[in-house]
Amino acid sequence: MSFINVNKLKYISNIILVGLIMDGGFFNDINEKITNAAFGKNGKCFLLIDASLEQYQSELFFSDILREYKSYPVTFHQEELQGALPLYLFPLSASSERDGQLFKNSIYHSLNELKIEKLESGEGRSVCAWISTDLTGEQLAEQVALSAVQSIQSGGDILLRYYDPSVFGLLMSILDKWQKQQLLSNINTWSYIDGDGIAQVVNGDGESKKKLNYSLGLTERNALELRRISVVNNILRAYRKMKVSHRLSECEVMKLLRPALCYYYSTFSMSDSDVIDFGLDVLRVQRLFYQDGIFEGFMFSNHSKIPQSYSDIKSRIDSVAF
């Protein structure tokens, strides 16, 4: 590496350190957890990056750093995805000081991407995961590509954005045990930082074998819930801006919103703002309030063949209650 690039790397590191407001102990805890999971088995891991978001990001220094490192592109066989979804795997070794700096910078950058103003401006999350595996870079890239496009049992294909950290944890709540094992086969650990800034580590089967089938056997119900993940994320972004005495975790949120959204879409007229308000009301009281006697009774006595809006029902119940 040239003298200029070394200085650039140190300069960028300082920018990241100064630009982020976080407790040193908080970062150290995250760094230690991901380090142990990512390098614990064989002293190496792969950093998964989604480069498609680079054009939307206001800070490009991390992207500049990545260009100086070796990477393995994830090549999709579907023509419509070629060039449209640039994912890259960067091999990192625990014994390399240079790799260690990139590893630490990737954690800082992942946390920086969680700033509300960045997410609301559409910058997205480019740092996806730190993956421990015994596969080679080429083998892992192939597995990611073949796992990301899934067929639905009733027909058609779906892009499974499981590599996206804003999707991965929510997806784990939807898939059954076998589907999760199939998705994480040949993986030792899959580490990522969730939307709450918490380091999450999911264990795979730890094997290293050629897969003949990458299908998860997704059902139409699976596909329906997968399409609702974006709605859950919209509700989560609004929820994280609320002042609450006890904040639910992503996992707890998903446990409540899965049945709640099923109820919403089968009961009320479609509205992007209404579904967020409904979800926030569920999270605010931390229970499925629509099962309460008052709400259930009102819905029964005001049954209509034409779906009504949630905001209208809510205002009418409030006027009766007060």
Q: What is the mean pLDDT of residues 126-152?
A: 97
What local confidence, expressed as pLDDT, does residue 9 receive? 45
**Domain locations in the chain?**
3-219, 229-321
Q: Where are the alpha helices (DSSP H) in 175-216?
A: 177-183
pLDDT digits (tens, 9 = 90+) for 68-127: 999 999 999 888 888 889 999 999 999 999 999 999 999 999 999 998 888 888 788 999
pLDDT interval class at 320 (50, 70, 90): low
Q: Specify the amino acid at residue 192.
A: Y
The token pair at 28 is: 């150290």
The model carries a pTM of: 0.88
pLDDT digits (tens, 9 = 90+) for 192-237: 999 999 999 999 988 888 888 999 999 999 999 999 999 999 999 9
Q: Cα–Cα distance between 170 and 127 in angstroms, integer?
A: 17
Given a cut of 70, is residue 11 above it in pLDDT?
no
Assign 3-class secondary structure to 93-151. ECCCHHHHHHHHHHHHHHHHCCCHHHHHCCCCCCEEEEEECCCCHHHHHHHHHHHHEEE
pLDDT interval class at 58 (50, 70, 90): low
Q: Cα–Cα distance between 29 and 178 in angstroms, integer?
A: 31
CB contact burial 24-56 (16+ within 10 A = b; e otherwise): eeebeebeebbbebbbeeeebbbbbbbeebbee
Determine the Cα angle at 184 with ends 96 and 62, to 5°. Answer: 40
pLDDT digits (tens, 9 = 90+) for 231-258: 999 999 999 999 998 999 999 999 999 9
